[in-house]
Amino acid sequence: MPSADSPSGLSKDEATQEIERLSAELERHNRLYYLDAAPEISDRQYDQLFRRLEELEEAFPDLASPNSPTQRVGGAPIEGFDEIRHPVPMLSIDDLFAEEEVVKFFERLQKNLGEEKVPVVIEPKIDGVAVSLVYRNGELDYAATRGDGVTGDVITANVRTIQTVPLKLGKDAPETLEVRGEIFMSNEAFAKMNEERDEQGLTTFANPRNSSAGTLKLKDPKEVAKRPLEFIAHGIGLLEGTELESVSAYHQLFKKLKIRPNEPLWHADTLEGVLNAIHELDEKRHHMPYQTDGAVIKVDSRAQQETLGFRSRAPRWAAAYKYPPEQKETVLKSITIQVGRTGVLTPVAELEPVFVSGTTVSRATLHNEDEIQRKDVREGDTVLIEKAGEIIPAVVRVNKDKRPPNAKPFNLYEHVNGQCPSCGGPIRKEEGFVAWRCFNPECPAQATNKIKMFVSRRALDIEGIGNIVAEKLVERGLASSPLDLFEIPEETLAVLNLGTDEDPRVFGEKNAAKVVKTLERARAQPLNRWIYAMGIPNVGESAARELSRLHEDLFALASSEVLKTTRKIAELEAEQKEISPRNKSNPPADDEEKQERQKAYDELKEEIGRLKTEIEPYQVSPDAGPVVSASLLSFFESEAGERFLSRLRELDIKPASDNHAPKPAELAASGDLPLAGKTFVITGTLSKPRPEFKDLIESKGGKVSGSISKNTDYLLAGEGGGSKRDKAESLKVAVIGEDELNAMLE
Ligand code: IVH
């Protein structure tokens, strides 16, 4: 074929060859870079080869293979994951939590095989996500999650983006090979990614495993390609076209096929050998760059594996010894005090850095002063640190033998000289609280944390402002309260320095534009999100929801009669208790006082009764009880609260409720509402989230309760919800579905 008319100047045959050559070359360099850490060419040279391949694939689209190295950047987003039945079930593995259990396990192997020596391999248990990779004729056919062990989700497009997953296996590949292994993130890459996410205002992950699992569920492979996932093989499933006699043999095959094998690997045939390997691995694993949480012991011979067989969902030929969470001793250099959103002072242990479970730890939370006193933690102490699975470490206990003679008991107030470490304002402990607090509304530490709360995902969800951005905005004087965010010019944001003066790093135009856009959207977020975002003490998400049901918008909330009455009732009830002639801690001195107090008591009782009748129609749920009401009103009555409202007016922001239901019961009492006086309990999976049904029922005069009793009228049940269904039936409570509910509303 003449080649002159094709864009690349190649005939189809030539292109086929060239594409194959470039693919193999690129995959080789991939391996050298990611697997062997020994690159032979520069990034630039790699990019040139990559681009050449891309061009050829564009010119000859029918020659482009889904397993081309160009596909590692991620293809088109997908709708959802198909399911696939595993050709060989993906079993789980029995855990051994103590060395005695390892002894029993090995003795059982000896007994069942009738041999004194049982050759086994010992290898790390990687704390990642299990995956099955099926290769046919040397090409990756599909990748699947473990799922329930029988069927899993097909995640091929996502897995292709992982550089250490080979897309082709070369000429030594068996006809069919199912590689089993783990997908994970290295400690370092995980920490870096979390930091970057935080800077971009995205949610951070608790640990590398959660992060890997979350990433594999993404429906956009291009996003997956940006995450630092890795793969290591530790087993095989389906195998056709060759025989493998042992774990050792497939370990060798992995190496030959350039599939990253699980290492290090120990061989042993005695109990002593197994225990030695477990101890050696425990030493080694702390220096490995990813999380491991155990040692897997496997019978080496596949024939012996078959003899031993399975028990329910786990094989008898393998077990995982789980290491106890690592604990390390270190010196607690000092205790520093952090100031939270509401001014609460939290003590933090500043540690001599120690390497624990794969990361360097230099801080641990001490929760509050009471906890410090309970554990008697002092500055200069040697303490035991533990990191149990999660990333935030804890101080387990103090090693008092190593306490310096001059170590003084910790006293928070003295420690900070009675001043807030952020603003220097006075600190106080409120009656009945364990925490010290700074009450200065202008305190910068509080400002930063208020902004963090305001922008968080469950509040106004302002993507792009993470912890570091929030800190810098306050530090550079661009914001001292959340509403300031709405007035920072985009140009100013774009040049915000997130680094230091010596080593500047600007926020950038793209990020600034994104923030401005999400702020625009935040203006129209519903009232409940706004209430929650304000970060008022005691006002959580469920309180916010109830408050937004009771009020049309934020301005109505600020001057709410219902809340004032709720607060008033609580105050009067406290007073009533105090003056009661039957108050044992303050008994009346004589008969005269007794009668006077009885009179005052009766008056209060009447007043309380009147107020209760007044708000009764609103059926305020305990979510917005006296504590919430008082906290909210005291904010709106404060100077800070007044400023907040007038700023909102200036900014022309009017947060409005999306579930406002005025006085349901009053209307219900007049018989206008169809569900008047009826009590519902909701269970199971319905077509919409449960809070929506709750709002609907309440807006029609009904009540919704959390548990079934003989006073329940109806159980609204979706799919599932077994135990409540059983209870309803035993109490003869009517069980209805969505259709029946809708019929009742008509
Ligand atoms: S072998 C039948 N080896 O642990 C035995 N599993 O098995 C199959 N895991 O989710 C498992 N590291 O993905 C084996 N070196 C290792 C492993 C390992 C991690 C995971 C595996 C599975 C879980 C329980």
Domains and CATH numbers, the chain: 7-64 (1.10.287.610), 94-322 (3.30.470.30), 332-436 (2.40.50.140), 439-522 (1.10.150.20), 530-650 (no CATH), 664-745 (3.40.50.10190)
pLDDT digits (tens, 9 = 90+) for 315-330: 999 999 999 888 899 9
Interval 530-556 mean pLDDT: 92
Q: Are 440 and 433 in contact (CB under 8 A)?
A: no
Interval 100-129 mean pLDDT: 97
Nearest residue by C-alpha to atom 10 in ligand 1: 130
Nearest residue by C-alpha to atom 16 in ligand 1: 125
pLDDT digits (tens, 9 = 90+) for 221-262: 999 999 999 999 999 999 999 999 999 999 999 999 999 999
Does ligand 1 lie within 6 Å of residue 183's CB atom? no
Does ligand 1 lie within 6 Å of residue 285's CB atom? no
Q: Confidence band (pLDDT; 50, 70, 90) for 1?
A: very low
Determine the atom of ligand 1 nearest the C-alpha atom of 128: 19
- 91 CA from centroid of ligand 1 (Å): 8
Instruction: Give phi and psi for 263, each to the nearest 5.
Output: -140, 155
- Cβ neighbour number for residue 621 with a 10 Å cutoff: 18
Examine the residue annotation and report whether 125 is marked as an active-site residue of this protein: yes
Among the listed ranges 179-183, 437-441, 458-462, 597-601, which one has the minimum average pLDDT value? 437-441
Does ligand 1 lie within 6 Å of residue 318's CB atom? yes
Letter string b/e over residues 348-379, b meaning 16 or more CB atoms within 10 A of that residue's CB: ebebeebebbbbebeebebbbbeebeebebbb
Does ligand 1 lie within 6 Å of residue 597's CB atom? no
How are the residues of the chain apportioned to helix, strand and coil, as percentages rounded to the nearest 5?
40, 20, 35
Interval 512-516 mean pLDDT: 94
The per-residue pLDDT for 541 is 86
Does ligand 1 lie within 6 Å of residue 545's CB atom? no
Closest by CA to 341, choosing from 532, 476, 516, 194, is 532
pLDDT digits (tens, 9 = 90+) for 482-502: 999 999 999 999 999 998 888
Candidates 126, 291, 293: which one to mutate for ligand 1, based on the most atoms within 8 Å of Cβ?
Answer: 126
- 318 CA from centroid of ligand 1 (Å): 9
Determine the atom of ligand 1 nearest the C-alpha atom of 314: 2
Determine the atom of ligand 1 nearest the C-alpha atom of 315: 2
pLDDT digits (tens, 9 = 90+) for 648-685: 999 999 999 998 986 654 454 546 678 887 889 998 88
Interval 81-109 mean pLDDT: 94
Check residues 69 and 37 and name the one with the higher pLDDT.
69
Tokens for 360, please give them. Answer: 């360097």
Which is the catalytic residue, given 111, 117, 125, 322? 125
Nearest residue by C-alpha to atom 3 in ligand 1: 234
Q: Confidence band (pLDDT; 50, 70, 90) for 390?
A: low
pLDDT digits (tens, 9 = 90+) for 147-156: 988 999 999 9
Tokens for 591, please give them. Answer: 């008969």
Which amino acid, 598?
Q
Does ligand 1 lie within 6 Å of residue 93's CB atom? yes
Nearest residue by C-alpha to atom 18 in ligand 1: 125
Beta bridge partners of 296: 123, 320
Classify the C-alpha dihedral 334-340-345-347 as positive or negative: negative
